[in-house]
């Protein structure tokens, strides 16, 4: 069974969209096996997005995910499990750029560009491969927090 990590990002939290997003995610038919509210600190954010460390948007990305841009430090982290979990959640999440994402996707429905920066307010994170999912889930969850 494949696992994937979803983060409901601060832009969605500040707009009180968590319930809508979780409802949308039920469409995947995947099983939720872990969920928690996390006050995300810079260290965890940098580890989570370490592959992007050298990118020009890295600082903005860290400001976004740690809630500095939205004055909202909490994110919801969810682990889903099921067949093709990574692909199913990525498809429902939609394209990275919120203005390019289909309106049938979570990012297309709820995302936008941040008004004062080039930050993508793209609502959720979704693991991009089973290997990334495994690494990210270990970062965000202890074994005992995952339901078997
Ligand atoms: P995520 O990892 O958050 O699920 P993703 O896998 O669709 O998003 P990545 O390429 O991993 O896209 O980028 C990670 C995050 O970095 C994006 O969600 C977005 O917030 C930001 N980002 C990516 N590309 C750009 C860009 N060209 N300009 C500004 N921000 C970007
Ligand atoms: Mg990614």
Residue range 41-83, pLDDT digits in tens: 999 999 999 999 999 999 999 999 999 999 999 999 999 999 9
- Report percent pLDDT > 90 for the chain: 96
Residue 98 pLDDT: 97
Q: Which of 84, 85, 61, 65 is nearest to 76 (CA)?
A: 65
C-beta 62 within 6 A of ligand 1: no
Domains and CATH numbers, the chain: 2-140 (3.30.70.141)
102 backbone dihedrals φ, ψ, rounded to 5°: -60, 145
Half-sphere exposure of 63 (CA within 13 A, CB side): 13
15 backbone dihedrals φ, ψ, rounded to 5°: -90, 5
C-beta 120 within 6 A of ligand 1: yes
Would you please indicate which residues are annotated as catalytic (active-site) residues?
125
- Helix (H/G/I), strand (E/B), else coil: 84: coil
Tell which one of 6, 49, 96 to mutate to probe ligand 1, the residue whose CB is within 8 A of the most ligand atoms. Answer: 96
Tokens of 112: 């936008």
Q: Is the pLDDT of residue 148 over 90?
A: no
């Amino acid at each position: 069974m494949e696992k994937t990590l979803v983060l409901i990002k601060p832009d969605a939290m500040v707009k009180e969209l968590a319930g809508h997003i979780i409802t949308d995610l039920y469409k995947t038919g995947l099983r939720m096996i872990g969920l928690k509210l996390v006050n995300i600190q810079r260290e965890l954010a940098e580890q989570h997005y370490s592959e992007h460390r050298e990118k020009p948007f890295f600082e903005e990305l860290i400001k976004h995910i740690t809630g500095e841009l939205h004055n909202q430090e909490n994110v919801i982290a969810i682990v889903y499990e099921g067949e093709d979990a990574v692909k199913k959640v990525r498809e429902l999440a939609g394209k990275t750029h919120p203005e390019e994402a289909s309106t049938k996707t979570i990012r297309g429905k709820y995302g936008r560009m941040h008004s004062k920066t080039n930050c993508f307010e793209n609502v959720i994170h979704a693991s991009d491969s089973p290997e990334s999912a495994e690494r990210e889930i270990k970062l965000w969850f202890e074994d005992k927090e995952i339901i078997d």
